[in-house]
Structure 1
Amino acid sequence: MFGKPGVQWRLGLAALYLWVSGVVYTKDTSWTCPQPCQCNSRTLEANCSDCQFEVVPDGFPQDCRLLNLTHNDLKTLVSQQFKTLTQLLELDVSDNLLVMIEAEAFLGLRSLLTLRLARNRLRVIPAGAFNGLPQLKLLDIRDNLILVLLDFTFQDLAALLRVDTGRSDLVFVSPHAFAGLTNLRELNVDRCNLTAVPTEGLRPLSGLATLSLHGLGLTTLTNYSFRWLGNLKKLVISHWSVLETLEGNSLFGLNLTFLTVSNCNLSVVPYASLHHLVYLVHLDLSFNPIRYIRGNSLRDLLRLQEFHLVGGQLLRIDPRAFHGLARFKVLNVSGNLLKTLEEGVFSSVGSLGVLRLDDNPLACDCRLLWVLRRRVHLGFDRQPPVCTTEVRFEGWSFLDFAEVDLPGPFTCRRSRILNPKPQHVQIAEGYTVHLHCNAEGDPTPSISWLNPQRVQLSAFGRLQVLANGSLEVRYAQVRDSGTYICLASNAGGNDSIGVSLIVRGFSHSSRNSLLLNETQSFPFEVKTLVVAVTIGVLSFLCSVTICFIFMFLWSKGKGQYKHTATIEYVPRSAASTNNGGKGHVESSRFTMKLI
C-alpha cells in the first residue's frame, strides 16, 4: 500500500530532472561566442587564449563573467572596446603586444573586479584609460615598458584594493599618479629603475596597508622615505642587492606589524631604524651578511613574536639579545655560522615555541643542553639541530639522544688560568708593559680585565685588552699602579687571578739629577772644537784664493792692449772765482787704467 506514493515521488523527481536538463540544454544552445574561442555556459567563461587575434573580436555573450584574451597579437584597445559586457567580472589581456590603451577603453565594464594587462609593451598609460571601472579591485600591469606613471592615471578607480606594477623601465612616479586611490590596500613594485623611494608619489595612499618593493637598486634607504604612510602595517623590502644602510629615521612615521628586509647587503641589524616600531610582531632580515646580534638592542620591540635571519653569516648572538620580549615565540636562524645559542639570550624560554638552528656548525656542549631538555616543547619545523663539531656525535640530531644519556656529551670544562700564581710587575714611568693571562677550558674561555677600580677594560685606549688576552699598558703612569684582575670565563665556570702593577715615578730632585747626569754624559771636548774651527778656516781661505786666481786669469785673457780712460774736469775753486766774469777757466785732467 506504500507503493503508489513511492512511485509518485520517483516520477516527480524524474520530471524535475527533465525540466532542469531542458533549461540547461536551451542555455547551452543559446550561449555562443566567437570562433575559435572556447566558451563554457556553466562557468560563463570565454577562453580566447592563443587564438592569434590582432583585434578584440565581437560577439561575446552579454552575461559573460570571465574573458581570457591572453597570448594573442593585440596591439591596441580602442575606446569602449568592451561596452556590451556589463556583467564581466574578470578580464585578462596579458601576454599580448599592447602598445596603446585609448581613453575609456574599458567604459561599460561596470561590474569588472579584476583587470590584468601584464607582459605587454605599454610605455605610457594615458589619463582616462581606466574610466568606467567603478568596481575594480585588482589591477595587474607588471612586465611592461612603462617609464613614468603620470598624474591622475588611476583617479577613477576609487574601489581599487591592489595594484601590481614593476619589472618595467619605470624611473619616475608623479606626485599625483595615485591620486584617487583612497581605498588602495596593497601596492607591489617589482624590479624597476627607480633611483629613490617615490615618497611624494606615495603620499595620496594614506590608507595603504601593504607595500612590497622588490629589486630596487638603492644603496641607502634615506630618512623619512615613508613618512605619509601612517596606516601601513606590512613593508617588504627584498632583493635590493646593494642596499647597505637604513638611515636612522628611514622608517619614521610607520607603525608596522610586519617588516621584511631580505636578500640585501646589510652587515648589521639596523637597530636605530627599528627602535620606534613598538607594534612590530614579525621581523625578517634573512639573507643579509649580518654577523652579530647585540644584547639589549631589540628591547624596545615589546610586541615582537618572530625573528627570522636565515642564510646570513651569524657568528654570535649575544646574551640578552631578546631580553624584554615577553611575547617572543619564533626564532629562525638556520643556515648561519653559529656554534651555540645560550639560554640567556632570551627573557624566558618558556614562551618559545619554534626554534630553527639547523644548518649551523653547532658545538654540542652544556650551552645547548637547555635546547635538548626542551625538545619536547620546542618545534623545529621537522628540521632539528644537528651536532657538527663534536667528533663522537658528529651528524647526530638532537632527537637522537635518549633522555637517560643526559647530560652525557652536553657538558663543559670550566675555565682554568694556566699561571695561577699572583704576579708582580714593576716598571718605570713612561714605558709600556704587557700583563699576560692564559687560560684553558671547553668551550674556549673569553678573557677580560678589570682595572684597580674594578671597571672592565676594553680593546681600545691606552690600557687595552689584546686579541691574545694580554693587557697592554702604554706609556705607564704612576696612577696606573694597582692590582688588575684577569677573568677567564666560559659556560662551565670562571677563574681569575690578580696582577700587581707598580709604576715607579720621579721626584723633583731625581728629575734634576737625571738632567745633570744627562748633561755630564756629553762632556766638552777642546780637541774636537779645534779640529772643527781649523777645517772651517781652511775652507774659507781656499775659497778666497780660488776667487783671486779666477779674476787674474780672466784679466790676462784680454790681450796686450792697455785700456785707459782720461777724465777732464774744472776744479770747483777756479769756477767760483771767475763765475761773474768772462775770463778763461783752465780745466784739469787725469788718466785711469782699466783692468
Structure 2
Amino acid sequence: MKICTPSVVRWGAWSILLACLGVSAGGCPSRCTCRPEAKEVICSGKHLNSVPEGFSSDAKRLDLSYNKLKTVGRRQFSGLQLLQELDLSDNLISMMEVEAFQGLKNLRTLRIKNNRLKIIPVGVFAGLSSLRFLDLSQNEILVFLDYTFKDMSNLQILEASENDLVFISQRAFFGLTSLVEFNLDRSNLTSIPTEALSQLPNLTRLRMLRIYIPSLPNNAFRRLHKLRSVIISSWPMLDTLGSSSLAGLNLTSLVISNCNLSTVPYAALRHLAYLRFLDLSYNPITVIQGNLLGDLLRLQELHLAGGSLLRIEPGAFRGLSNFRTLNISSNQLTTLEENAFHSVGNLQVLRLDSNPLACDCRLLWVVRRRLRLNFDGFQPTCSTPDAVRLRQFRDFSEKELPRLFTCRPARILDRRPQEARVEEGTNVLFSCKADGDPAPAITWISSHKNVFSPVGRIRVLPNGTLEVRYAQVQDSGAYQCLAGNAAGNDSLTVGLYVKGVPRNRSIPIFSDDTLIIATTMGFLSFLSSVAICFVFMFFWSQSKGQIKHTATIDFVPRSSMGGGGEGGEGGRFTMKLI
C-alpha cells in the first residue's frame, strides 16, 4: 500500500482512497467498476455509446461487453499498454478503423463476438503481435481479405463461427504461423478454402459445422501436415468424399457426422494410418462391409450412432487389433456377430441399445460378456422373439442362456432334382427356398465358383430364385444353391444344358423385289422434282409479262455403245412454254 502524501490529501477522501489503493483519481470511469487488486475495469452492460476515457494505465483487463458501441477508432486503446484482455462482445460495432488496436503490444485475448461487422479492413489488427486468442464469431463478416491477420504471428486460436462468409481469399491467413485451432461454423462457403488453409502450417484442430458443401474434393487439406483433429458436422448436402480428400494428413481424430453419407468412405479413410477416433454418426449408412477398414491399424473407437445400419458383415473390423469402443446405438440392427471382430477380447465398450435386436445364438457372445463389457450405462434390450421381448441383457441368468439364445440351422425345403434342357435364347428359372432361424441367406454359385448377384443376365431374385435370361450355350453346367445362417448351412445342385440354334451362313442384302421397288421409287421421285420445276417456271414467267414462249435446243446423242464423242450426228428440238 502506498504512503499518502500531503498533495494527495487535497483531493478529498475519495481521491485518498484511490491513491492508497494504487489507482489514480482518473483511473476508473464513473460508470465502470474497477478492481485495483486484479487490475480489472468492468464496464459491461452500462449502455455506453462510446468507449469511455480515464482508464488506469496499468489495467490488464477491460470488459466493455453488452453496451451500444458502434465504432472502434484508430488507436482507441493506445494508452493501455499493459492490457492483456479486451472484451468488446455483444455491442453494435459495424466499423473498426485501421490500427484500431495499435499500442496494445501485451494483449493476449480479444473478443469481438456478436457485433455487426461485415468486413475487416486490412491493418485493423496491426500491432497485436502478442495476441493468442481472437473471437470474431456471430458477426456478419462476408469475406476475409488477403493479409487480414498478417501481424498476428503468435495467434493460437481463431473463432470465426456464425458469420456470413462467402469467400476467404487465398492469403487471408498469411502470417498465422502459430495458429493451432480454427473454428469455422455456419458460413455460406460453397467449397473448402484449401489455398487459404494451406497458409496455416501448425494448424492442429479444425472444426467446420453447418456448411452447405456437397463434396470433399481430393487434397482438400493439403500441406496441413500437423493437423490432428477434423470435425465436419451438419453438412446436409455432403454425400461424397474424394478418394484422396484426406491424403497427406496424419489425423488421430475424425468426425463426419450429421451429413448425407450413404456408405462408409473407405477409399478416403485408407490414408489415415494414425487414426484412433472415428465418428460417422447420423449418416444414412446401411452397412459396414467386411475387410475394408484394415488400413486403420491404430483405430480404437468407432461411433456410428443414429444411422440406418441394417448389417455389419463378417470381418468388418478385422485387422483392428487396438479396437476398444464401438457405438452403433439407434440403428436398425437385428444382430452383431462375433466374426465381425478381429478379437472380441479387446472390446471394452459396446453400445448396442435402441436397435431391434433378435436375441438368438448370434448375440450369445455379447450376453455372456454382459458383466465384463461396458455398455456405457445403456443396456441392450431384446426385440424378438416374443419370449424375451423387452428383456435387458443384464436380466438373463447364465443358466437360461442355452435355452433362450438358440438358432435353427438353414434347411432347403424342396430338394427335388431340377434339370433344364433348353434351346439358346430361352429364359430359365431355378427355385431355392429355405427356412431356418435366423432366416438363411441364399447364395448361388456356378461350377466355376462365380457368385451371382441381384443384377446381370444371370441373377438372383429377391425370393432366392436363380434366373438365367436368354440362355447361351456357354451357360451350360451345374449351379449350386447355398442356404446358410449362424447355425448351419444346406446346399442344392441343379443342372442347365443349352442347345445351340443353327444360323444361316449368308443373308442376301437385297432381294429382286427390293431392287424393283427401290428403282420405281427413285424414278417417281425424279418425275416429281421435274414437275415442281416446271410449275415454278410457269408462275415465274407469268410475273415477267411478255417473254418468248419457245426455245430451240441442239443436242448430240450418246452412241449406242454408251460413249459420246466426235462423229455423232446432232439433233434439235423445240420446247414451248404453255
TM-score normalised by structure 2 residue count: 0.81
Aligned-partner residue type, residue 309 of structure 1? L
Separation of aligned partners in 1, 2:471 and 2:121: 77
Separation of aligned partners in 1, 2:425 and 2:348: 58
- CA change 1:416–1:24 in 2 (3 A) is farther
Separation of aligned partners in 2, 1:399 and 1:119: 50
1:35 and 2:30 correspond:
yes
1:180 and 2:168 correspond:
no
Question: Which residue does 1:367 correspond to in 2?
Answer: 362
Question: Which residue does 1:419 correspond to in 2?
Answer: 414
Separation of aligned partners in 2, 1:504 and 1:378: 61
1:499 and 2:498 correspond:
no
Q: CA deviation at 1:462?
A: 2.4
The correspondence of residues 277-292 of structure 1 with structure 2, limited to 5 A, is 277-292=272-287
Q: CA deviation at 1:46?
A: 2.2
1:167 and 2:162 correspond:
yes
Separation of aligned partners in 1, 2:32 and 2:398: 67
1:121 to 103, 116, 122: 116
Q: CA deviation at 1:84?
A: 2.6
Q: CA deviation at 1:190?
A: 1.2
**Secondary structure, aligned partner of 2:245:** coil
Question: Which residue does 1:103 correspond to in 2?
Answer: 98
**Of 485-494 and 35-44, the range deviating more from structure 2:** 35-44
Unaligned runs of 5+ in 2: 1-16, 505-578
Separation of aligned partners in 2, 1:150 and 1:24: 46
Q: CA deviation at 1:211?
A: 1.1
Whether the 8 Å contact between 2:24 and 2:56 is mirrored in structure 1 is: no
1:448 and 2:443 correspond:
yes
Separation of aligned partners in 2, 1:201 and 1:452: 58
Q: CA deviation at 1:26?
A: 4.0
Unaligned runs of 5+ in 1: 1-22, 513-595
1:490 to 482, 485, 496: 485
Aligned-partner residue type, residue 338 of structure 1? L
Q: CA deviation at 1:263?
A: 1.0
Deviation string for 1:196-234 (max 9, x for gaps)? 111111121111111111111111222222112122111
Question: Which residue does 2:130 correspond to in 1?
Answer: 135
Separation of aligned partners in 1, 2:435 and 2:22: 86
- CA change 1:26–1:392 in 2 (3 A) is farther
Aligned-partner residue type, residue 191 of structure 1? R
Separation of aligned partners in 1, 2:429 and 2:111: 73
1:302 and 2:297 correspond:
yes
Separation of aligned partners in 2, 1:190 and 1:453: 55
Separation of aligned partners in 2, 1:111 and 1:405: 71
The correspondence of residues 34-113 of structure 1 with structure 2, limited to 5 A, is 34-113=29-108
Aligned-partner residue type, residue 430 of structure 1? G
Question: Which residue does 1:474 correspond to in 2?
Answer: 469
1:405 and 2:409 correspond:
no
Q: CA deviation at 1:472?
A: 1.0
The correspondence of residues 326-475 of structure 1 with structure 2, limited to 5 A, is 326-475=321-470
Separation of aligned partners in 1, 2:104 and 2:195: 31
Deviation string for 1:137-158 (max 9, x for gaps)? 1100011121111111111111
**Secondary structure, aligned partner of 1:200:** helix
Tell me the matched-pair count.
Answer: 489
Separation of aligned partners in 2, 1:475 and 1:434: 11
Separation of aligned partners in 2, 1:422 and 1:28: 105
Question: Which residue does 1:228 correspond to in 2?
Answer: 223
Aligned-partner residue type, residue 377 of structure 1? R
Question: Which residue does 2:288 correspond to in 1?
Answer: 293
Q: CA deviation at 1:425?
A: 3.2
Quick one: percent identity of the two aligned structures? 52
- CA change 1:433–1:229 in 2 (3 A) is same
Q: CA deviation at 1:376?
A: 2.2
Separation of aligned partners in 2, 1:57 and 1:293: 62
The correspondence of residues 525-536 of structure 1 with structure 2, limited to 5 A, is none
Whether the 8 Å contact between 2:18 and 2:24 is mirrored in structure 1 is: no
Separation of aligned partners in 2, 1:436 and 1:270: 37
Separation of aligned partners in 1, 2:18 and 2:448: 95
2:143 to 132, 144, 148: 148
2:195 to 195, 200, 211: 200
**Secondary structure, aligned partner of 1:201:** helix
TM-score normalised by structure 1 residue count: 0.78
Separation of aligned partners in 2, 1:167 and 1:284: 23
Whether the 8 Å contact between 2:382 and 2:389 is mirrored in structure 1 is: yes
**Secondary structure, aligned partner of 1:340:** coil
**Secondary structure, aligned partner of 1:414:** strand
Whether the 8 Å contact between 2:77 and 2:101 is mirrored in structure 1 is: yes
Larger radius of gyration: 1
Separation of aligned partners in 2, 1:246 and 1:461: 28
Whether the 8 Å contact between 2:23 and 2:56 is mirrored in structure 1 is: no
**Secondary structure, aligned partner of 1:109:** coil
Separation of aligned partners in 1, 2:117 and 2:498: 80
Q: CA deviation at 1:24?
A: 12
- CA change 1:454–1:243 in 2 (3 A) is closer
Question: Which residue does 2:543 correspond to in 1?
Answer: none
Separation of aligned partners in 1, 2:63 and 2:293: 50
Separation of aligned partners in 1, 2:490 and 2:453: 19
Q: CA deviation at 1:448?
A: 0.7
Deviation string for 1:157-186 (max 9, x for gaps)? 111001010322211111211111111101
- CA change 1:409–1:94 in 2 (3 A) is same
Separation of aligned partners in 2, 1:35 and 1:259: 51
Separation of aligned partners in 2, 1:453 and 1:235: 47
Q: CA deviation at 1:302?
A: 1.2
Q: CA deviation at 1:56?
A: 1.0
Whether the 8 Å contact between 2:251 and 2:272 is mirrored in structure 1 is: yes
Aligned-partner residue type, residue 345 of structure 1? A
Aligned-partner residue type, residue 210 of structure 1? R
Separation of aligned partners in 1, 2:375 and 2:451: 38
Q: CA deviation at 1:60?
A: 2.4
Separation of aligned partners in 2, 1:310 and 1:80: 52
Q: CA deviation at 1:423?
A: 3.1
The correspondence of residues 214-253 of structure 1 with structure 2, limited to 5 A, is 214-253=209-248
Aligned-partner residue type, residue 209 of structure 1? T
Separation of aligned partners in 2, 1:388 and 1:83: 69
Aligned-partner residue type, residue 319 of structure 2? G
Q: CA deviation at 1:30?
A: 6.5
> What is the CA RMSD across the aligned residues, in angstroms?
2.2
- CA change 1:56–1:479 in 2 (3 A) is same
Question: Which residue does 1:212 correspond to in 2?
Answer: 207
